[in-house]
Structure 1
Amino acid sequence: MSLAPRLDLRQTQSLVMTPQLQQAIKLLALSNLEIEVFIAEEIERNPLLETGTAEPSDAPDAEPVLIAEERPSADAILSGDTAAEPSLDLDYATESHQQDSVADGGFGLDGGLGMAGAGPGGSEDGPDLDAFADTSVSLHDHLLAQIGPLVSGVDLLIAQHLIDQIDETGYLTVTTREIADRLGVPIVRVQEVLRVVQSLDPTGVGARDLAECLALQAKEADRYDPCMARLIDNLDLLARGDLTRLKRLCQVDDEDMADMIRELRGYDPKPGCRYGGEPAPAVVPDLFIARTKTGWAVELNNATLPRVLVNRGYYTELCSGPQTKASKQWLTDQLAGANWLVKALDQRQRTIIKVAAEIVKQQEAFFLRGVQHLRPLTLARVAEAIGMHESTVSRVTSNKYLSCARGTFELKYFFTSGIASADGGEAVSAEAVKQAIRQLIGQEGDKILSDDTLVELLQAKGFDIARRTVAKYREAMGIGSSVQRRRARALVGA
């Protein structure tokens, strides 16, 4: 073998993930609100980017996709080829005219949604939804306002520290020993201050467990006698529905036991929840789906998606001034980055519309008749239908919601496994089976249905399902077993 140096020419193929390609892939997984934050950061970093309304000569926004009910050329419509799309620029009478967002209301996407604007703050002329936010005082502020006149000095410091350790449900999350060690005070003094805190409104606040919370409320109602004390000390038996043993421990008859259970049922196991905490953020849909006279309309929520433009006038102004080699290179890079971002956002919108339109096409029965008609659907099936990779569809459907006449749903909701049909027909969605189980249990009345009975009833409805699958779905929905439901029913009737 020759060891002399030589030159070889080889031809290979490789896929290079450039930083821009990696960023474009990340953009697909972001929701509209996350995109808004990303755009704000890019505008701050790149002086050639700005938000505003495009000129007529600029590229248009992604227009609403119309899926006709009679769609022999549906693939052409969903392919992104605007030449194959039906004309949307018509008059109001046709309910099919071009709009920039659902807030314009002309396309009919506002029908059934009860929204004049899709943004979190409403439209310019519409109501500000933030004005309806809960402005009630928090639990901690409510407790601090009460404790001031009751204690002072070191006791006030201990009380404030105890209140800081109370969670949003009203329970103390640390022991009195930990508080005493942390503050360097006797544990007896901490316990005395805790009793003062537990006397505050709402009754039951500052308890260390459920039994203590219920006992505080029973004492406030002057119902904490020895029998009630034994009942509260044996909540585990009450949870299991062992009324016979409870009556023996409490030394009461059936009537007294029923009266005690009714009293406990009137207490609040989470007294702190009456007061405001952090309000749950409202889900802002990324897409709107509406039924029109000619089919289904799929439109992006542009109210939460600012329009990004390249300020070419500012670029020309900078180019006309004195420049160094470094500044010229920097300006070229900024222009390239701005152009790339505009194209990447446009491609993202088209991809989302394309995937959403295929979901609507596959799950049209759901949008027409409800969850019972939800079909089994996989990412691979959608990816194959639109000619994309499965990972791309997965990114598009992550953290994104669509709004339709039936409510707001995450795009992932429409991808469920299938359950075979008992008569050999088309498979049904797991969500449809869960809905059927929920309805059967909700209508069971005094005759509690076992899992075996549920299997028989579901098979009569055409679902070929095993008992273990019924149990798995039931537990996933938070529904107890037949034994647990029977005990709960007995407690209600007690």
Structure 2
Amino acid sequence: MSQSQKMALKVQEKLVTRLFLSAKLRQNLTVLSYSSNDLKKVITDFSETNPFVSLKRPKNELQNLDWITSPDEENLLDHLLSQVRLADWDQRDKKIITFLIYQLDSDGYLRIELSDLKQKTEFSLDQLKKTIDKLHHLDPLGIGAYNLNECLLIQAQTKENFNEVALDILKNNQLEKLADPQGWNNFKYSKEELLVALSAIRTLNPAPASAFDTSQAQYLIPDLRFEFEGEDLLVSSSNFDLPELVFNEQEFANMQKNSQGSDKQYFQKQKRDFTELKQAIAQREQTLIRLGKYIGKVQRKYLKSLDLQDLEILNLEQTARDLNLAISTVSRAIKDKYVECQGKIFSLKLLFPRKSVGKLTSQQVELLIEEQIKNENKANPLSDDQLVANMQKNKINLSRRTVAKYRKCLGIKNSYQRKTAEN
């Protein structure tokens, strides 16, 4: 072999190696970006397509067999999530609605106040309020309503020529009053009109989730768990909640022995795919544990108190430098991930608050504004300029425009609107 041929061969070997590592790296990054719920689906789908792979379920999944139902029954969660994936919405709205879907109860209601949900996610109250209407209008209509009255109102407003009396009753949140005929004298409508309205309301569906299988209800699987044992903070991943991929070596050896050509290559590819996915899952866990330990040190005070005031400023750049990782790797590691701590589940991104002013995070500034407005004189609400002045007294310098932005993110009206609403 000539020198030129040897050089060419080395170049080819380097190219093959680079391409192989690149493909492996791509898979590792893709798996890292999956939430635990998404990874669970990927693992399940992979086991169904690879003839040598089976699943070893977590022990807690085998303690109750009530989840076994007819395969013809559609799961509510999958039904809703498939609509979100196909919807022509921006990615932020899709993420918000996906988060809200996981908060639904078994009847399909969202019985948690949005202000409380805001504490679990990086999205603002204003973003949650603007997006929830899209959830309400998924199929089944009325899903994600806060209560029965709201659920029926959502459905009624979409129907053409729906009874106007019934619509007015629902808009005024008087469903319970209508259910008690003894109080009908307090309505402005006649008994006959109320009977017709009641009949119209009975055509609506009070339980949108009733047509779907809810026995297989899925819940958010936290990607990281923080737990205090005395003063020690422990961190663990969600791997023990996920099914484990198991490769049947005996069957693979038998099939390899009795095959040749393209069949043999196919079997080898199945084992290679299994190995690469297992390695990517292991790499994902290792990265998440490293990230969890780092976050635990930085945000220990918050994880102990769960008070937003105790959050420390933390950005991706600093985290990447300290962990010797690429910023894109850290970004994928926190993407769509959730954390469990002291029985509460919240977004991992919540632990990466951005700097707002001085040493304050954006969440801390929001809390300061919210607290001022909460304690204001309702007859003479604080203007944005007054909020700015009060902040300056505490050596917090914010512009009027910035205060207005945070106020709107909190879903709080301006001083004139608050005064008008109070009167």
TM range (shorter): 0.5 to 0.7
Q: Out of 330, 338, 354, which is 1:417 matched to?
A: 354
Cα deviation per residue 1:167-200 (whole Å; 9 max; x = unaligned)?
7624333655xxxxxxxxxxxxxxxxx44xx566
Shift of 1:462: 4.5
Q: Which amino acid aligns with 1:344?
A: A
The answer to whether the Cα contact below 8 Å between 2:152 and 2:205 also exists between their aligned partners in 1 is no
Q: Which amino acid aligns with 1:448?
A: P
Distance in 2 between the 1:380 and 1:335 partners?
37
Residue in 1 that maps onto 2:154? 169
Aligned alpha-carbon RMSD (Å)? 4.3
Distance in 2 between the 1:271 and 1:432 partners?
47
Residue in 2 that maps onto 1:469? 402
Structural mapping, 1:10-89, within 5 Å: 16=19, 18-52=22-56
Shift of 1:399: 1.1
Residue in 2 that maps onto 1:314? 251
Residue in 1 that maps onto 2:389? 456
CA shift in 2, pair 1:306/1:461, >3 Å: farther
Structural mapping, 1:28-427, within 5 Å: 28-52=32-56, 124=63, 134-135=106-107, 169-173=154-158, 194-195=162-163, 198=164, 204=169, 221-223=186-188, 275-278=206-209, 282-293=219-230, 295-320=232-257, 322-369=258-305, 370-405=307-342, 407-421=344-358, 427=359
The answer to whether the Cα contact below 8 Å between 1:376 and 1:416 also exists between their aligned partners in 2 is yes
Partner SS for 1:436:
helix
Cα deviation per residue 1:25-50 (whole Å; 9 max; x = unaligned)?
21111111111111111112212222
The answer to whether the Cα contact below 8 Å between 1:298 and 1:357 also exists between their aligned partners in 2 is yes
Shift of 1:274: 9.6
Shift of 1:400: 0.9
Q: Which amino acid aligns with 2:360?
A: V
Shift of 1:372: 0.6
Partner SS for 1:377:
coil
Shift of 1:419: 2.7
Residue in 2 that maps onto 1:251? none
What are the ranges of 5 or more consecutive residues in structure 1 without an aligned counterpart?
Answer: 1-5, 54-100, 104-116, 138-163, 177-193, 226-269, 422-426
CA shift in 2, pair 1:127/1:418, >3 Å: farther
Shift of 1:416: 2.4
The answer to whether the Cα contact below 8 Å between 1:299 and 1:353 also exists between their aligned partners in 2 is yes
What are the ranges of 5 or more consecutive residues in structure 2 without an aligned counterpart?
Answer: 68-74, 76-103, 110-140, 143-150, 191-200
> Structure 1-normalised TM-score?
0.54
Identity of aligned residues (%): 23
Shift of 1:395: 0.9
Cα deviation per residue 1:49-92 (whole Å; 9 max; x = unaligned)?
22238xxxxxxxxxxxxxxxxxxxxxxxxxxxxxxxxxxxxxxx
Shift of 1:203: 6.5
Shift of 1:473: 0.4
Partner SS for 1:403:
strand
Distance in 2 between the 1:360 and 1:271 partners?
52
Residue in 2 that maps onto 1:264? none
Shift of 1:477: 0.8
Aligned residues: 317
Distance in 2 between the 1:222 and 1:126 partners?
50
The answer to whether the Cα contact below 8 Å between 1:419 and 1:464 also exists between their aligned partners in 2 is no
CA shift in 2, pair 1:135/1:448, >3 Å: closer
Distance in 1 between the 2:247 and 2:282 partners?
13
Q: Which amino acid aligns with 1:173?
A: T
Shift of 1:305: 1.2
Higher percent of residues as helix: 2
Shift of 1:410: 0.8
CA shift in 2, pair 1:403/1:271, >3 Å: farther
Shift of 1:314: 2.2
Partner SS for 1:433:
helix
The answer to whether the Cα contact below 8 Å between 2:339 and 2:348 also exists between their aligned partners in 1 is yes
CA shift in 2, pair 1:123/1:469, >3 Å: farther
Shift of 1:463: 2.8
Q: Which amino acid aligns with 1:25?
A: L
CA shift in 2, pair 1:136/1:400, >3 Å: closer
CA shift in 2, pair 1:45/1:222, >3 Å: closer
Shift of 1:347: 0.6
